[in-house]
Chain A
């Protein structure tokens, strides 16, 4: 598993619409050029108003990733291991239920 040199890839995930606009979220997972199996990939998550999501759990690729001030991390190896996992949720402490999402073309 590796990213071609000089090609930075960003996958954008977006929540389904919510009644409370603040509940919406957008997560960007970035693979810097030249990343390999041991690389730690950054994930940035913002909420509806564009501000970073406060403490939360990002359920992605079969893992539950801690989110602190809009930032989470996952290793390239874990991403590839969980590439068939469709469950994608943001569990926020200030929302009663988790908010689902999916990959977008953005």
Chain B
């Protein structure tokens, strides 16, 4: 089974995929000398780790952060499991914090590499923000949106836009288009520096 096939099974919550997670990731890690010692100290079982991994991957959709571009799926999952072990703080009465894993000081460098961002996720966020700004542009004046689309999506010349929307001159089209770009940029910067919530 390829990493891609394995990833798809895990993502779909299929037993066959999660059985491999147990066999290739959780159980071997829990039996490694260093992890076994920490787990014993923090009263963690391999079953606990499996539960946390399942909750994170499917419950919190961390599985979507895996790029599936040829990197080791096993290694990626193992990084999470090590993070759970290293981040287990007995002073928190059993609460586990993956974020604290690399502040623990006991970890190895791999624990530092827990993926928190993914290019695909960032790209999606940028696109959603662009759509949001475009909606605001619509509320300002729909004509600006039409010009924006005609120029950037349909590759109309300024003369063609002028004729299409019955605008007085192509210079006027250019001016409106230029203001639209400026507006979008300003709104983007505003939303980027004033995030909601």
Contacts and interface: CB of A to CB of B under 8 A. Distances in A.
Interface of B: 131, 134-135, 138-143, 145-146, 149-150, 153-154, 156, 160, 163-166
B165 A4 contact: no
A1 B163 contact: yes
Contact of B149 (A2, A4, A11, A85): A11
Interface in A52-106: 80, 83-86, 102-105
Given A4-B160, A80-B165, A102-B135, 5 more contacts: A2-B163, A83-B146, A84-B141, A86-B139, A102-B138
7 contacts: A2-B163, A7-B154, A9-B154, A84-B141, A86-B140, A103-B134, A105-B149
Contacts of A4: 156, 160, 163-164
Q: Is the interface of A mostly helix, strand, loop or mixed?
A: loop
Contacts of A47: none
A25 to B, nearest CB: 16
Interface size class of A (residues with CB under 8 A): 10 to 19
A18 to B, nearest CB: 16
Nearest to A106: B153
Contacts of B160: 4
A30 interface: no
Contact of A86 (B141, B154, B163, B164): B141
Contacts of A9: 150, 154, 164
A87 to B, nearest CB: 9
Contacts of A86: 138-142
